[in-house]
Amino acid sequence: GAGVSQSPSNKVTEKGKDVELRCDPISGHTALYWYRQSLGQGLEFLIYFQGNSAPDKSGLPSDRFSAERTGGSVSTLTIQRTQQEDSAVYLCASSLMRPNTGELFFGEGSRLTVL
């Protein structure tokens, strides 16, 4: 595709429900990041995938959060038993090569609202 695609763009859910957020990176990009951004705040790192290496999950805030990347392409971020504090914009980014030489391309984000 032309850019990083994220879906849904908006998701409203009730507390306690599970949600899945999808990221379709630019074709051929080996690195994929998930970030969380609350209103007016910075980028909170969640998880990083690079090629076939084990993902860096050090930013996941709790065991309710998980992510996978199938076939080195599409990634899904799953939040189980959502809480109100999970409300934020979830941004996905991908890059062609290692960050030393590749810029990150961000998707438009998925805005999650937990009621």
Partner 1 sequence: GQQVMQIPQYQHVQEGEDFTTYCNSSTTLSNIQWYKQRPGGHPVFLIQLVKSGEVKKQKRLTFQFGEAKKNSSLHITATQTTDVGTYFCAGLVEGSGDKLTFGTGTRLAVRP
**Chain residues that interact with partner 1, rule: CB under 8 A:** 31, 33, 35, 40, 42-43, 45, 48, 50, 56, 58, 91, 93, 98-100, 103-109
Least distance between partner 1 and beta carbon 98 (Å)? 4
Smaller CB separation from partner 1, 14 or 52: 52
* CA atoms within 13 Å, Cβ hemisphere of 42: 3
Least distance between partner 1 and beta carbon 41 (Å)? 8
Least distance between partner 1 and beta carbon 56 (Å)? 6
Smaller CB separation from partner 1, 81 or 98: 98
Smaller CB separation from partner 1, 1 or 14: 1
Select from 65, 76, 53, 59 the least CA-distant residue to 5.
76
Would you list the DSSP string of 74-105? -EEEEE-S--GGG-EEEEEEEESS-TTT---E
Least distance between partner 1 and beta carbon 15 (Å)? 26
If phi over 0 gives left and psi between -120 and 50 gives alpha, with beta otherwise, what is residue 28?
left
Q: How many residues does the chain have?
A: 115
Smaller CB separation from partner 1, 16 or 51: 51
Instruction: For residue 86, report the phi and psi dihedrals to the nearest 5 degrees.
Output: -80, -10
